[in-house]
Structure 1
Amino acid sequence: MLRFFKPTRRSDHPSLAGWIGWFIGRAIIWFVIGSVSLTVLYKFVPVPVTITMIADPHGFEKDWTSLNKIDRTMVDAVIAGEDAKFCSHSGFDGAAIEQAIEKNVSGKRLRGGSTISQQTAKNVFLWQGQGWTRYLRKGLEVWFTVLIENIWGKRRIMEVYLNVAETGIGTYGVEAAAQRYYRHSAVRLSPVEAARIAAALPAPKRRAVVDPAGFTRRHGNAIAARSGVVRNEAMDACVYE
């Protein structure tokens, strides 16, 4: 008696590679949905805490403050000191990135080419550090920068940046910085006060805001001078239009 058996095809049972592909595909979909949803949420509500704050061994002090209650001199100072093209770029400054790469390749003092938008994306959604994970972080930073530029807009980016940026040991945001260093609110800051906070932003744990010396003092004075140019040439117009 002849018996016929239906041959088993490999396609009837998913392979390991197929399962891995399915998992990665679902992970990407959920990441996109989650990241877009969180970005939309943060367009309307204050950012409660960041990974950097949680990981800070000194703890953290912050005081979320509306941009309406932050002196305009602070906005001008960070544009002057951190990102002069803030209102004209779409999240990335190609020229600054090229200059940073050239300096780093030539062996000169390492420097970054991050815009305020990129720094905000990193501060809110990602982590700090210089290990191998920085390459993954840089890729994610690009994604979140595109999201906040298109969902938040410049004014909201500036508001969030001024509230989550590290401004000293265990201190986050310009309101907490103003209270700590000057004993008054960020609603009123002199050009020199704002410039010194801005001068400390690239290295807030090492640079003194009160009675700074050497490079920090010179850098702060330069920022204070350039802040007037920012205001006069409406380089902060995207924040106040």
Structure 2
Amino acid sequence: MKAVLRWLGLVVLAFVALQLFFVVRIAAMVVIDPESTSFQRSEAWTLLTTKGSVPWRQQWMPYASISDQLKRAVIASEDDGFVSHDGVDWNAIEKAWERNAKAEALANKAQARAPDRPVRAPKIRGGSTITQQLAKNLLLSGERTLLRKGQEFVLTLLLEQLLSKQRILEIYLNSVEWGEGVFGAEAAAQHYFRKSASRLSATEAARLAVMLPAPKRFEKTPGSAYLAGRTRTILGRMGSAELP
């Protein structure tokens, strides 16, 4: 029994120590720009092992230097309640769950009608906020487990408590992936439009924003009908997007 209690005590201490480590890391980001994220380091390793080199484009831009058009476009596309929620948008999660359930039901019906014909797996939609995406990419691995999801929730709350909304959006826009080896708004603006992120037009900003769910895929299909249609949709929403 003592051995079990000792083991549990060590587990609790390790958990507390890990959370304190995260608190210190996030608190430091109030004034220190993160040099890289967990996701970026993982991508760098993948590029190195598969291609033998790490083509990397990233240049930090202060919040005030990033086009408001891009800020509005990203908020409109990824998290329209960004300025008002506490890190988690429960309504968005509920809607995503309902959409996923409907998609799965349709896939099951199609499979039942034609059991010998392969059916495309339903597209899973997430309800993650900008803060949740940042928590995951900044400090966590890409594995999908309940434990990692729980840690993501804790980190999301820490980010919201320790950093301002402006700072969260600034770090997000400077670290998010926009293509293979392309990270951050400035690198994306230069890569796709040969201009600074401070000079993006509304249409250019919307086009970058709609790439975020799958940037490497959309990088290869820049003229797709989906991108064009989604860009028009985001353009229509940008006017109501509230900035922090």
Query: TM-score, with normalisation over the residues of structure 1?
Result: 0.85
Out of 184, 195, 199, the position equivalent to 2:210 is 199
The aligned length equals: 217
User: Do 1:200 and 1:209's aligned partners in 2 also have CA atoms closer than 8 Å?
Assistant: no
2:59 corresponding residue in structure 1: 63
Correspondence 1:216-227 to 2 at 5 A: 216-227=227-238
Query: Structure 1: which amino acid aligns with 2:24?
Result: S
Mapped partners of 1:160, 1:172: distance in 2: 11
Mapped partners of 2:16, 2:210: distance in 1: 40
Correspondence 1:27-46 to 2 at 5 A: 27-46=14-33
Task: Go from structure 1 to structure 2 and tell me whether the alpha carbon gap of 1:158 and 1:192 turns closer, same or farther (over 3 Å shift).
Answer: same
Out of 100, 103, 108, the position equivalent to 2:99 is 103
Consecutive aligned runs of 4 or more in structure 1 exceeding 6 Å deviation? none
1:117 corresponding residue in structure 2: 131
Residue by residue over 1:164-194, the C-alpha shift from the partner in whole angstroms, topping out at 9 and shown as x without a partner, is: 1111111111111011111111111000111
Task: Go from structure 1 to structure 2 and tell me whether the alpha carbon gap of 1:191 and 1:209 turns closer, same or farther (over 3 Å shift).
Answer: farther
Structure 1 residues without counterparts, runs of 5 or longer: 1-13
Out of 171, 174, 182, the position equivalent to 2:193 is 182
Mapped partners of 2:60, 2:220: distance in 1: 20
2:156 corresponding residue in structure 1: 145
Question: Aligned to 2:145, what secondary structure does the other structure show?
Answer: helix
Correspondence 1:161-172 to 2 at 5 A: 161-172=172-183
Query: Structure 2: which amino acid aligns with 1:38?
Result: R
1:210, CA displacement in angstroms? Answer: 8.2
Question: Aligned to 1:47, what secondary structure does the other structure show?
Answer: coil
Question: Aligned to 1:40, what secondary structure does the other structure show?
Answer: helix
Question: Aligned to 1:61, what secondary structure does the other structure show?
Answer: coil
1:224, CA displacement in angstroms? Answer: 1.6
Which structure has the highest helix share of the two?
2
1:211, CA displacement in angstroms? Answer: 4.1
1:51 corresponding residue in structure 2: 38
1:15, CA displacement in angstroms? Answer: 2.7
Question: Aligned to 2:87, what secondary structure does the other structure show?
Answer: coil
Pair member with larger Rg: 1
Task: Go from structure 1 to structure 2 and tell me whether the alpha carbon gap of 1:76 and 1:210 turns closer, same or farther (over 3 Å shift).
Answer: farther
Question: Aligned to 1:175, what secondary structure does the other structure show?
Answer: helix
2:107 corresponding residue in structure 1: none
Mapped partners of 1:183, 1:49: distance in 2: 24
Correspondence 1:19 to 2:6? yes
Mapped partners of 1:209, 1:175: distance in 2: 19
Mapped partners of 2:206, 2:221: distance in 1: 11
Mapped partners of 2:132, 2:66: distance in 1: 21
Q: What is the RMSD computed on CA atoms of the aligned residues?
A: 1.6
Structure 2 residues without counterparts, runs of 5 or longer: 48-53, 105-121
Higher relative contact order (CA 8 A, sep 6+): 2
User: Do 1:181 and 1:210's aligned partners in 2 also have CA atoms closer than 8 Å?
Assistant: no
1:136, CA displacement in angstroms? Answer: 2.1
User: Do 1:174 and 1:186's aligned partners in 2 also have CA atoms closer than 8 Å?
Assistant: yes
Correspondence 1:78 to 2:74? yes
Mapped partners of 1:228, 1:42: distance in 2: 30
Task: Go from structure 1 to structure 2 and tell me whether the alpha carbon gap of 1:223 and 1:209 turns closer, same or farther (over 3 Å shift).
Answer: farther
Question: Aligned to 2:178, what secondary structure does the other structure show?
Answer: strand
User: Do 1:103 and 1:109's aligned partners in 2 also have CA atoms closer than 8 Å?
Assistant: no
